[in-house]
A and B are shown apart, each in its own frame.
Chain A
């Protein structure tokens, strides 16, 4: 699939296919919405032929060589109450609209005067990175753009946060990427000394549930107590008084709750349990925080799609997934009450708000987690995804290239975030991140060429 994606991406970039063709093919391949968004963004900006009937012939062979994926797709669609049988037919127009709506940019542009523009003498022309899968779509978009801007080629392998940490620790890559901050033990074990965490995007983890009796337009409201209770196995029925208090519609749902969690170690789990631990002493003491924990109850699904699949298949279940995954799959998402007492529906802006609320108190190393954020509009189950770089590097060319790239990531690059379903890092945090970047040294001297 990756190679097909890359092919398609190439076709989109070079203008061999127009938006519509790319869309059709992408849906036939069963690509995720972020991937499709990236593809569309890569298309040349000729929106003019958007509405025209585009050339048909492509659709045939595309559905052909993607048969397996389509099948998989169909199944998911069934559960998604979407009744998509043939991706080529009328419904594909719907998908176009969906995708377009999703793509709608908020028009944000970086306005500082410290932008990275053009190549720089003496910088290395390649950088290698590896790590988190969650932001991989964003990164591939970024690094493609970055090569256009500076000519520096950035290779990124999405091997998982653990792999990213391991790779930077033993120095096999120039930078790592992770969804969960490195712990003290990991930092001690890094071969090249101190590692900086540069937050470059944000995500949220949202509760998703499947109660067929309920209207999906009226999301359930969860509190710290109810979520912790459910995941501790203490709240076992949907009509538990604690739940009914905020959700009168649950009164008649006399069903036991099937709890779904991730079976694989993941940054998503980390943020979720980090939140539960922040709000529940019992959770903090008995279960704790990690990329995988000893779950008191429930069944495990592999990946966001595994959890979503279990939730969709099993009525009266609850699970948690990445915000963008919930958005793109139209999952029923619950509101969560934040510290200020407001029930917040997760969105990229409510996530950014959460981080902004921490700006004053955050540790300047930016390793802090931001769950249970204060602030009226903060969605409380949010987290950064970081790029990892050594404080002290020994290769000057790499040092220049890396610091410039990091700088670009926290500034100009942020404009792609919300279009792809990731929240932007708030300006207050970006300022702190810039300080860290300026602190990266080669031979004891700061290497970033800006001011």
Chain B
């Protein structure tokens, strides 16, 4: 090494690796460790769930576990399909109800609201996101439930009940403890998340896009429709997925209004339902046999897998939306 160096006296200028590289390498190592730790954590969680749920799959087939609806701890028959159904349907209702409202509110805040109104509205909405779910649950039990039972559900039944197929959704006696009520409370709970992210995304839409549409003679609404929403839609989709993810895992508030019964899947939104998270929360503590306990842990595994599937689908969705846009970075 020395021989190749030109003879220039002392090494006033240090170019060797150690001079600046050490801190860099330490930093890199630290960040790498963090990244690995996260992956390891996920792996450990999955392995643990797999291990702890092994008994159930020895006890009965995975098909029976996933696709039957009888959950009977006494006779040791464990079918989670009713839980999966309740989870998915209530979350999707929540998503369908929340997204238009949240995006509308976000558009209002960014595009229409006078400047002085922006911060208070945004602040309030973010505050909503910080409310613990138990409080939403209490509110749902005492306010939302009765409103659903005495006003909204009879209304829906009167107007949509007679329509074939659609009417099936609104069959049964409204009791305000059902999948629809759970969906509504989920919508309210995920609304702030979707709105806050949508607002950020919409604010990121460059003004040049707005100008471009305006300059073609677009009205404000046409401008929003033609320039803002398409530009922001991948981000909005991401926001909705985050909301969906929260809805899938939400436990407390849903448990308080969904009825916690899985006797049958009739397709009606007025039937009491049961979600995976609720089932775990309700039954874990008093599970009194190995098989029962492992069945409950297997629910957690299924929930995790569904959450992962949703996330992957979300990535694919966002990627396909952004794909067309990806070259736009070339504009600079």
Direct touch of chains A and B (CB < 8 A) = yes
| Contact between chains at B282 and A265 (CB < 8 Å) | yes
Within the complex, which residue of B70, B75, B175, B260 is in contact with A302, where a contact is CB–CB below 8 Å?
Answer: B260
For the complex, is B73 an interface residue (Cβ under 8 Å from A)?
A: yes
**How far apart sit A189 and B263, CA to CA, in the bound complex (Å)?**
32
A265-B287, A302-B256 given as contacts; is B261 within 8 A of A288 (CB)? no
For the complex, is B146 an interface residue (Cβ under 8 Å from A)?
A: yes
Interface size class of B (residues with CB under 8 A): 35 or more
**CB contact list, B16-61 vs A, under 8 A:** none
Which of B141, B259, B285, B290 has the most chain A CB atoms inside 10 A of its CB? B285
Binds B, one of A19-27, A92-100, A101-109, A159-167: A159-167
| Contact between chains at A163 and B74 (CB < 8 Å) | no
**How far apart sit A295 and B264, CA to CA, in the bound complex (Å)?**
11
Chain A residues with CB below 8 A from B289, complex form: 183, 185-186
**How far apart sit A287 and B175, CA to CA, in the bound complex (Å)?**
25
Chain A residues with CB below 8 A from B260, complex form: 263, 299-302
**How far apart sit A294 and B288, CA to CA, in the bound complex (Å)?**
15
For the complex, is A280 an interface residue (Cβ under 8 Å from B)?
A: no
For the complex, is A256 an interface residue (Cβ under 8 Å from B)?
A: yes
Q: Encode A125-166 as 1/0 by CB contact (under 8 A) with B.
A: 000000000000000000000000000000000011111010
For the complex, is A427 an interface residue (Cβ under 8 Å from B)?
A: no
For the complex, is B221 an interface residue (Cβ under 8 Å from A)?
A: no
A163-B285, A183-B289 given as contacts; is B272 within 8 A of A294 (CB)? no
Binds B, one of A309-317, A333-341, A385-393: A309-317
For the complex, is A43 an interface residue (Cβ under 8 Å from B)?
A: no
For the complex, is A72 an interface residue (Cβ under 8 Å from B)?
A: yes
| Contact between chains at B282 and A292 (CB < 8 Å) | yes
For the complex, is A293 an interface residue (Cβ under 8 Å from B)?
A: yes
| Contact between chains at B286 and A265 (CB < 8 Å) | yes
Chain A residues with CB below 8 A from B175, complex form: 258, 299, 314
Chain B residues with CB below 8 A from A295, complex form: 261, 263
**How far apart sit A297 and B282, CA to CA, in the bound complex (Å)?**
17
Chain A residue nearest in CB terms to B178: A299
**How far apart sit A419 and B12, CA to CA, in the bound complex (Å)?**
88
For the complex, is B266 an interface residue (Cβ under 8 Å from A)?
A: no
**CB contact list, A401-425 vs B, under 8 A:** none
For the complex, is B320 an interface residue (Cβ under 8 Å from A)?
A: no
For the complex, is B71 an interface residue (Cβ under 8 Å from A)?
A: yes
| Contact between chains at A264 and B138 (CB < 8 Å) | no
A287-B74, A310-B177 given as contacts; is B288 within 8 A of A300 (CB)? no
Chain B residues with CB below 8 A from A162, complex form: 285-288
| Contact between chains at A294 and B282 (CB < 8 Å) | no
Q: Encode B124-144 as 1/0 by CB contact (under 8 A) with A.
A: 000000000001001001100
Chain B residues with CB below 8 A from A258, complex form: 175
For the complex, is B325 an interface residue (Cβ under 8 Å from A)?
A: no
Which of A165, A180, A291 has the most chain B CB atoms inside 10 A of its CB? A291
| Contact between chains at B285 and A292 (CB < 8 Å) | no
How far in angstroms is the closest Cβ of chain B from A20?
29
For the complex, is B91 an interface residue (Cβ under 8 Å from A)?
A: no
| Contact between chains at B288 and A291 (CB < 8 Å) | yes
| Contact between chains at A313 and B75 (CB < 8 Å) | no
For the complex, is B255 an interface residue (Cβ under 8 Å from A)?
A: yes
How far in angstroms is the closest Cβ of chain B from A175?
19
How far in angstroms is the closest Cβ of chain A from B73?
5
| Contact between chains at A160 and B285 (CB < 8 Å) | yes
For the complex, is A241 an interface residue (Cβ under 8 Å from B)?
A: no
How far in angstroms is the closest Cβ of chain B from A172?
16
**CB contact list, A248-267 vs B, under 8 A:** 256, 258, 263-267
Chain B residues with CB below 8 A from A267, complex form: 286
For the complex, is A119 an interface residue (Cβ under 8 Å from B)?
A: no
Chain A residues with CB below 8 A from B286, complex form: 160-162, 264-267, 291-292
**How far apart sit A230 and B176, CA to CA, in the bound complex (Å)?**
21
**How far apart sit A348 and B233, CA to CA, in the bound complex (Å)?**
64
Chain A residues with CB below 8 A from B259, complex form: 299-300
For the complex, is A15 an interface residue (Cβ under 8 Å from B)?
A: no
**CB contact list, A297-328 vs B, under 8 A:** 297-302, 306, 309-310, 313-314
For the complex, is B173 an interface residue (Cβ under 8 Å from A)?
A: yes
How far in angstroms is the closest Cβ of chain A from B308?
27
Chain A residue nearest in CB terms to B273: A299
For the complex, is A296 an interface residue (Cβ under 8 Å from B)?
A: yes
**How far apart sit A264 and B256, CA to CA, in the bound complex (Å)?**
11
| Contact between chains at A294 and B70 (CB < 8 Å) | yes
| Contact between chains at A185 and B74 (CB < 8 Å) | no
| Contact between chains at B290 and A185 (CB < 8 Å) | yes
Within the complex, which residue of B141, B263, B278 is in contact with A296, where a contact is CB–CB below 8 Å?
Answer: B263
Chain B residues with CB below 8 A from A294, complex form: 70-75, 77
Chain B residues with CB below 8 A from A306, complex form: 256
Within the complex, which residue of B138, B141, B282, B288 is in contact with A263, where a contact is CB–CB below 8 Å?
Answer: B282
For the complex, is A75 an interface residue (Cβ under 8 Å from B)?
A: yes
How far in angstroms is the closest Cβ of chain A from B56?
15
A189-B290, A288-B74, A299-B272 given as contacts; is B283 within 8 A of A265 (CB)? yes
* 5 A-B pairs with the lowest CB-CB distances in the bound complex, closest first: A265-B286, A300-B260, A288-B74, A263-B260, A294-B72
Chain A residues close to B by CB (< 8 Å): 68, 72, 75, 159-163, 165, 180, 183, 185-186, 189, 256, 258, 263-267, 287-302, 306, 309-310, 313-314
A265-B286, A294-B73, A294-B74 are known; give 6 further A-B pairs, CB within 8 A.
A160-B285, A288-B74, A292-B286, A294-B77, A302-B260, A314-B149
Listed A/B pairs (7) with beta-carbon separation below 8 Å: A163-B285, A186-B288, A290-B74, A291-B73, A300-B272, A310-B177, A313-B141
